[in-house]
Amino acid sequence: LSGRLLVLEHHREDISHIILADTPDLDSVERVNRRFAEDLYQLADAVIFVSSQEKYADEVPYLLLLRILRDQRLCYFILNKAEESSTKEDILSTLEGARVSLARDRIWLFPYIPNHPSRAIAQDPAFRDFQGLFLKELSMKQLPDLRRKILRRHARDLQQTLDRFVAIADREEEAA
């Protein structure tokens, strides 16, 4: 339901500092869903970009992926319900054709699992690889470095905004 949030708690100490949020589709017809997704993106330190074969090259997901990379957010690209014939090279080729540069080691393909997917996916080698990297990069030990990178990114963005403001103010002063 639009505008509602379901909170599921856990008691794992190793990930007690992590909040995972599943956003509505970015191209939802509901404006409130798009706004909710944008608000969560603004708060995110990392993004798990989950898509399907038929959607990842669509315009809205494509633009978000470009933004994630431009913003230098930690990004994990997951192709969900991937066909057996799909490869990382296929995805890289499609993305590179759209001028999106994503490293091969940032892409995971999860198979379609019709029965008991939550149990079966935990045994999938691609999921285990993703989980290992995710838990390593977002571990408590890595948190200070991640925070420093995020603060540097915010400082750079703020400096760019201030530089634009000063340039506008200078032009206004010259015109006056």
Centroid of chain to Cα 141: 21
| The token pair that represents 174 in the structure block | 């010259």
Which pTM value belongs to this model? 0.80
Residue 1 banded pLDDT, cuts 50, 70, 90: very low
CA distance 122 to 30: 33
For residue 159, name the pLDDT band (cuts at 50, 70, 90): very high
pLDDT of residue 3: 53
Q: How much is the pLDDT for 36?
A: 85
DSSP 3-state percent helix, strand, coil across the chain (nearest 5)? 50, 10, 35
pLDDT of residue 56: 58
The segment with the largest mean pLDDT, out of 56-70, 74-88, 154-168, is: 154-168
Q: What is the pLDDT of residues 10-61, one digit of tens each?
A: 899 989 999 888 887 777 788 888 888 888 888 888 999 998 876 655 788 8
* Mean pLDDT score, 72-79: 91
